[in-house]
Amino acid sequence: MATIDQVLIQAALKPEEATKGSGVPAIAVDDLHKSFGSQKVLNGISVAVNRGETLAVLGRSGTGKSVLLRLIIGLEEPDSGSILIHGRDIAGLNLDQLCEIRMKMGFLFQHAALYDSLTVEENVGFPLVHHKKEMSKSERADRVKQLLAEVGMEGHLKKMPSDISGGMQKRVGLARALALEPDILLLDEPTAGLDPISSGEINDLVLKLQAEHHTASIVVTHDLHSAKTIADRLALLNEGDVVVQGSFEELQKSDIAFVQEFLGHS
C-alpha cells in the first residue's frame, strides 16, 4: 500500500492518475474562509468528494454555496484555507497550472452562461476549439454532436442560445461542461427556475452522466428532491460552514434545529 508521501508525490506528477483509488479525494476543501468586504461568506468550511461521488450542497440563499464552487474552480481567491484538487493545492499556482486543473473540471453555471454570440454547436465546441487543437474540424463536429446527443439536444445545433428555453440552455451548458471529459463536475443550481418535468429530466441526465463518466461532482442546489435524487451525500450550510453532512436519512435523523427546520420547509 502506498504511503501518503508516495501518493502526494505521484499526485504532483500526474494528479488524476495517481489519485484514482488511492484514497486521496478528488476535491478536498479545508477550513476555507472567504469574505466580501465586511460580509463573511464562508467561515471555515471543509468538505471532501471522492471520484465517482456526488455531494449536494444545500443551504439558504446567500450562505456561500455558489462562492464555494467559484473558489474551487479558481474564479475567486480564498482569504484562507486550502483547496486540493487530486491532492494538488491550487493556491499559488500560476495561470498555466491553474488552466491545466480547470481543464479537468466542468462547470455548469446557474444561468448556463452560454456565449450569446455563438450557436449551440459553437458553444459546446468552444473548449474543444481552444484545447483540442489536434482534432480535425470533422472530429470536433462529431464530438459536439455526440455531446449534444448525450443531453438530448442533437436537433438544435444551429440555434442561438436566445432561441432555446432555460432548460435547454442548462442541457447545452452541461454538454459544454463535459466537452473536455472532466474528472470533476461542478453544478450550480442545475434545476433552478425549471418546471418539475424539466427538473426531473436534468436530474436523470446528471445521474446518467454520473454513471457514464464517474466524475466527482458537487451540486449546489435549493432543491431537496433533486439533491436526494442525484447525490450520494448532502452537506447543509449555514452561516458559511457545514452544519451537517451525510446521506439524506442521516440528515433526517439529525437533532439540530436548523436541519429540521430546513428539511421541514423544503
Q: Which residues bind another protein (CB under 8 A)?
A: 35-37, 39, 70, 73-77, 79-80, 93-95, 98-100, 102-103, 105, 107, 109-111, 113-116, 126-127, 130-131, 133, 176
* Residue number with CB closer to another protein (66 or 203): 66
* Residue number with CB closer to another protein (9 or 99): 99
> Shortest approach of another protein to residue 88 CB, angstroms?
15
Task: List, in sequence order, every residue forming a beta bridge with 217; answer none if it has no partner.
Answer: 54, 185
> Shortest approach of another protein to residue 152 CB, angstroms?
21
* Residue number with CB closer to another protein (76 or 232): 76
> Shortest approach of another protein to residue 252 CB, angstroms?
34
263 vs 141: CA distance, rounded Å: 45
> Shortest approach of another protein to residue 90 CB, angstroms?
8
* Residue number with CB closer to another protein (36 or 142): 36
Of 182, 29, 168, 52, give the one whose Cα is nearest residue 107. 182
> Shortest approach of another protein to residue 204 CB, angstroms?
24
* Residue number with CB closer to another protein (110 or 198): 110
Burial 104-118 (b: 16+ CB within 10 A, else e): bbbbbbbebebeeee
